[in-house]
Structure 1
Amino acid sequence: MSGLLTTPIQPAPSAQCPVDRPRLSQRAFGHIKRILPGLLLCGGVSGAAILLERLEAAALGGRWLEALVLAILVGTAVRTAWSPGSRWFAGITFSAKTLLEVAVFLLGASISAQTIMAAGPALIGGIAAAVVLAISAGYGIGRLLGLPHRMATLVACGNAICGNSAIAAVAPIIGADSEDVSASIAFTAVLGVLVVLGLPLLPALLHLSGQQYGVLAGLTVYAVPQVLAATAPVGAVAVHIGTLVKLVRVLMLGPVVLFLSLLTRRLRDETDEALPHVTAGDRPASGLPPLHKLVPWFIVGFLLLAALRSADLVPHASLGPIAVAANLLTVISMAALGLGTDLRVVARAGGRVTAAVTLSLLVLGAMSVALIRLLGIA
């Protein structure tokens, strides 16, 4: 027996699992602690917006400004009077990005196949054509006003597709200057708020139905959540059609980035002014961005949830709570959008950029109205 070799008893692998759990909990707690101040700030602004909406309804007998729009206004007012410090940034960014993505995903439960089929192939083709024409027109306007090739491309793609997301996706492909990217994104944020506030005035002026206005909003508003804010005052039909049209616009980002990547050889030879800080190195990127940047997860989730709704796999009892949750998250994200909007950026953007973005947006709006009339959308 003394000659037998004994092997030390090893702990079971599962015994090591609890060691990782505290680390995971610490990371989660650290993340919550980091975003909590900004998240509470956005929640406070949202609460003020909801309260103002109720006071407005009690005083005027109806709601002229929805909580979505009021959240933008209150947030912008706070941002103009006070610049949040670094401790607030993480929560504001989380609210403006992650929460709005979840809100758009949940919105898929309110869209059925009947709504999608109502758009028809003619409208989908018209949306694609409008995006291509808007990029061409925006680029041409920028060049006529003296903007460099890269800046004109950023302005054109941001206006025609999806604002900041398009600018961020296109910038490394064309080797855009970081200052141009910052100016484009900042100005897009300001103009996006103005569009959301002003667009609901057009149905009465242009005699647009809910479906027509949904198409107009989906073709002109920059971001998907902003479409919700711009269409909510007009009605559910405008919200559904506007969201659908906007999602088709967003899906155009992939083909546009692919096309621009094929032009990088020419862009490498451009002689724009010196680029001291380039977003993707000293030269335009030669490859494509990851697939998740071309087709965001929340768009895939939106379409999947819409498919489940169409197949009657989403319980009807859950549709109401899902809609309430989506609306609340959208209000919070709109508050974050307002808190991130500095109206003084317009004054610093420069006359050429201001004129290029504004004229490009007006051209896109005119093309959208023409498309509505051409397709005979009722």
Structure 2
Amino acid sequence: MSTPTTAPPQPAPQPAAPVAPAADTAAEAARRSRFSEGLHAPHRLFGWEFSLQQVVFSVVLVFCLTPWASPPLALALGLVLAQTVGNPFAQQTKGLTQKLLQFSVIGLGFGMNAHAAVQAGREGILFTVVSLVGTLGLGYFVGRWLGLGRTVVHLISCGTAICGGSAIAAVAPVLRAKDEEISVALGTVFVLNALALFAFPPIGHALALTQNQFGLWCAIAIHDTSSVVGAAAAYGAQALQVATTVKLARALWIIPVSICTALAFRQRGVKVKLPYFIAGFIAAMLLNTYVPAVRPLAPFITHLAKIGLTVTLFFIGAGLSARAIRAVGGRPFVLGVVLWVVISLSSLYVILHAA
């Protein structure tokens, strides 16, 4: 009886060798590393040591001092640098930004007339009170719905309702807020400020808003004074005057809101930070209106103030790196967007339909 023969086992088909992504990833990482090394590598010329990153930043900064640079363009250039080469002077620009903004606002006062400013302030006072109370109240309920902490919610709400980073900086010590809570609130406000600076002027032109209407809308619906002034300056001289006056009058609400915050959060022994630069703005405006000897210098000072504002926005943009934007997180950003959209649309509706 013959034994049946069995066919030898066939070798299993070999799968096609997969393309290893690790090699591509490693090559890409190597390219990024070489690019970073090239940016940061020190060079020496005439006894000075510098890097390519510092040279690029300095060249763009010098451009922002020229007449070809506008506040929106300066902000855009800062954002591009932040996402590409980075800011080699991050600590220095962070310290300069607030001071430069304050001096620029004071300088803009030399281009204002006190009588027109009083009229603009009267028109904006009702909008200010209603929008401030409404924003703080809405922020409380939306923040609870999102499950955010009270401190972050209050910081973002105050930044939206009053004057952005200045309000957050004033209220944070009253709340005894942690550094990460302050960073989240500032990051949210600055990102939305950047969007507003680009978005508002085209919307204003599309809706055929008058100079007065647009200035009022900017002052109410844009968080930070820098972006308010930048957007209004892009729209027109009268819009700039209305927006600056109403926004600074709005900023005075930092004082009562800070006091109420201390009471509501039961904080004792805290100091309320006063916005002294607003007094400087008022003094400059009064000098320009009532002291004839100042008027010949006023256009020059105003011009310097506008350059200072342009550089301020460049510094702000250069500080908004991808890491800083990611650090904001989803829920705080949702809160900021909801508050911003509501205050923008509601104030625009009232302005358009006001008698």
What TM-score comes out, normalization by structure 2 length?
A: 0.78
Report % sequence identity.
Answer: 27
- Per the TM alignment, residue 142 of structure 1 is displaced from its structure 2 partner at its CA by 1.6
Worse-superposed segment, 209-218 or 172-181 = 172-181
Instruction: Report if aligned partners of 1:264, 1:286 keep a CA contact under 8 Å in 2.
Output: no
Instruction: Report if aligned partners of 2:82, 2:319 keep a CA contact under 8 Å in 1.
Output: yes
SS of equivalent to 2:279: helix
Can you list the C-alpha shifts for 1:3-51, whole angstroms capped at 9, x where unaligned? xxxxxxxxxxxxxxxxxxxxxxxxxxxxxxxxxxx99987632433466
CA RMSD of aligned residues (A): 2.4
- Per the TM alignment, residue 336 of structure 1 is displaced from its structure 2 partner at its CA by 0.9
Partner Cα distance (2:190, 2:241) in 1: 23
SS of equivalent to 1:232: helix
Structure 1 letter corresponding to 2:62: G
- Per the TM alignment, residue 169 of structure 1 is displaced from its structure 2 partner at its CA by 2.0
Structure 2 unmatched runs, 5+ = 1-52
| Corresponding residue number in structure 1 for 2:191 | 190
Larger Rg: 2
Can you list the C-alpha shifts for 1:90-109, whole angstroms capped at 9, x where unaligned? 43134412222111101111
Aligned length: 303
Structure 1 unmatched runs, 5+ = 1-37, 55-65, 266-284
SS of equivalent to 1:317: coil
Structure 1 letter corresponding to 2:221: T
Instruction: Report if aligned partners of 1:162, 1:223 keep a CA contact under 8 Å in 2.
Output: yes
- Per the TM alignment, residue 201 of structure 1 is displaced from its structure 2 partner at its CA by 1.4
Partner Cα distance (2:190, 2:243) in 1: 19
Q: Summarize the alignment of residues 1-378 of structure 1 with structure 2, pairs less than 5 Å apart.
A: 44-49=59-64, 54=68, 67-85=70-88, 88-119=89-120, 121-265=122-266, 285-290=267-272, 293-294=273-274, 296-373=275-352, 375-376=354-355
Instruction: Report if aligned partners of 2:143, 2:153 keep a CA contact under 8 Å in 1.
Output: yes
| Corresponding residue number in structure 1 for 2:27 | none
SS of equivalent to 1:303: helix
- Per the TM alignment, residue 325 of structure 1 is displaced from its structure 2 partner at its CA by 0.9
| Corresponding residue number in structure 1 for 2:6 | none
Can you list the C-alpha shifts for 1:79-128, whole angstroms capped at 9, x where unaligned? 1112334xx23431344122221111011111112211322535313212
Partner Cα distance (1:120, 1:152) in 2: 28
| Corresponding residue number in structure 2 for 1:8 | none
Partner Cα distance (1:259, 1:374) in 2: 33
Structure 2 letter corresponding to 1:287: G
SS of equivalent to 2:209: coil
What TM-score comes out, normalization by structure 1 length?
A: 0.74
Partner Cα distance (1:39, 1:98) in 2: 22
Structure 1 letter corresponding to 2:205: A
